[in-house]
Structure 1
Amino acid sequence: MQDANLNTIPLVFPDILVIVGGGEVDVPLLEQLSHEGARLIGADGGADAIMAAGLVPDAIVGDMDSVSDPEGWPEPVRVIHIGEQITTDFEKCLYSTRAPITIALGMTGRRFDHTLSAISAATRFARERHIILADEHDVALAISGPFHFSVARGERVSVYPLAPIRFLSSKGLLYPLDGLHLEQGGLIGTSNQAVEGAVDIVPEGDTPWLLVVEKSHLPALTAALREQPAGL
């Protein structure tokens, strides 16, 4: 087992990285992403979910307290033990990797506190990289700065503030965000709706925010993100 102090990190991936946790994993989506060339990392016990899908992770990262057999993986799989207990295994995966787009599976569902931890981790890294949390129904993109994407007229578009944030403008939404200040415990932007195909959302500054749409839009989101590089 490799220890993180041996200059084994960060692990750099050229395109989509999928980090798999121990929550509810959409196995068909995991299989599809792997077939399309995404690289896979197990966040500790998430590696078992990857193997259960008949796939092999590129690496396993975490404190190794929940993976079934941290010593029994084949040689190509990098097993990186990080013993610190200040961060979650998801956060360990995020600070140990670099990738233009990161999709997290199994980070939500089952336990609500795990979902909150995943959102907190995504907030922390949203200025550095594009992170998408996927569950059985929706995808939630943690992002900072403006974003342009396309959905069909009438589609649900939710915007959620990960910190107090002011939006300068929006286009294509039934309820415009122009000049609105959003914050948890105050005004939020959930259950909005697209009124035309193209949607533009422009916040002030680089405060992280969350865009939530139906899971079917994941390919379109990743395509749009490729056109809008993050500050890696």
Structure 2
Amino acid sequence: MSGADGLPIVFEGPLAIVGGGVVDPALLVELDRRGVALVGADGGGDAIGDAGLVPAAIIGDLDSLSNRTGWEQRTRVVHLAEQETTDFEKALYSTAAPLTLALGMTGKRLDHTLSALNAMQKFALRRHLLLVDEVDVALAVIGPFSFEAAKGERVSIYPLAEVSFARSERLLYPLDGLTLAPGGRLGTSNEGLGGRVEIVPADDTPWLLILDKSHLPALIDLLLAPA
């Protein structure tokens, strides 16, 4: 089935939007087993197919999707011809979910990576977003956030815009009273002191928490937990 009618596509559980960058097929299979819906952002549909899976939908301008006709016989294909946004953004504004993972949005091309970070900033106010690459997971955060980190474990805080922090707990380098900004001071390679890290910003500006990818299952569970 093709077409843009009936948008946004609403998912009751977590969603993974898959792009055409570097994607781990084993991770796609694991996410599928966990009940995470998979949506291809244009050529990301092929990445899902290469993992032996069928996406719930494929969304984009479809300039890099192979065998569009074949895919239309297997799943919903949404063609959005506008060129004001990336395929990742098209998939974001065409879907709704309590938690959205983004895979295959980094690697291969630097401009695609930068576009993915831009989309994270634009959509952070509207939905929970996790950007996953070969090494890390980056969570777009608004407001206070707490999580478990081992002693000496890398914890990076990256500002998507100028953001001030009221305080932090269990970080080697406290954020108390600091302002981070692109082109200014960053929070790269901080470290946990062991136990529960708490980060409290002074405003609602989106920021990125970057952790090792091993944190992905715990972050999914944490973000889906009842408030």
TM-score bracket for this pair, using the shorter chain length: over 0.9
Q: Look up the equivalent residue of 1:88 and give its one-letter code.
A: T
Q: Deviations over 1:183-202 (max 9, x none)?
A: 01111111000002101111
* Counterpart residue number, 1:126: 124
Matches within 5 A, 1:91-170: 91-170=89-168
Q: How far apart are the structure 2 equivalents of 1:178 and 1:224?
A: 24
Per the TM alignment, residue 141 of structure 1 is displaced from its structure 2 partner at its CA by 0.8
> 1:156 touches 1:191 (CA, 8 Å); kept in 2?
yes
Matches within 5 A, 1:32-111: 32-73=30-71, 75=73, 77-111=75-109
Q: How far apart are the structure 1 equivalents of 2:138 and 2:59?
A: 23
> 2:54 touches 2:74 (CA, 8 Å); kept in 1?
no
> 1:148 touches 1:224 (CA, 8 Å); kept in 2?
no
Question: TM-score of the superposition, structure 2-length normalised?
Answer: 0.96
Q: Look up the equivalent residue of 1:222 and give its one-letter code.
A: I
Q: Look up the equivalent residue of 2:137 and give its one-letter code.
A: V
What are structure 2's unaligned runs of at least 5 residues? none
Q: How far apart are the structure 2 equivalents of 1:188 and 1:206?
A: 17
Q: How far apart are the structure 2 equivalents of 1:221 and 1:139?
A: 9
Q: Look up the equivalent residue of 1:120 and give its one-letter code.
A: N
Per the TM alignment, residue 90 of structure 1 is displaced from its structure 2 partner at its CA by 0.1
* Counterpart residue number, 1:189: 187
- Answer with 46-55 or 65-74: which moved more: 65-74
Q: Deviations over 1:165-216 (max 9, x none)?
A: 0011111100011110100111111100000210111112221100000000
Q: How far apart are the structure 1 equivalents of 2:224 and 2:195?
A: 19
Pairs aligned (count): 227
What are structure 1's unaligned runs of at least 5 residues? none
Q: How far apart are the structure 2 equivalents of 1:78 and 1:49?
A: 16
Q: Deviations over 1:26-71 (max 9, x none)?
A: 1111110011110000000100010011000000000111100222
Q: Deviations over 1:3-33 (max 9, x none)?
A: 32x2x21111112101110000011111100
Secondary structure in 2 matching 1:139: strand
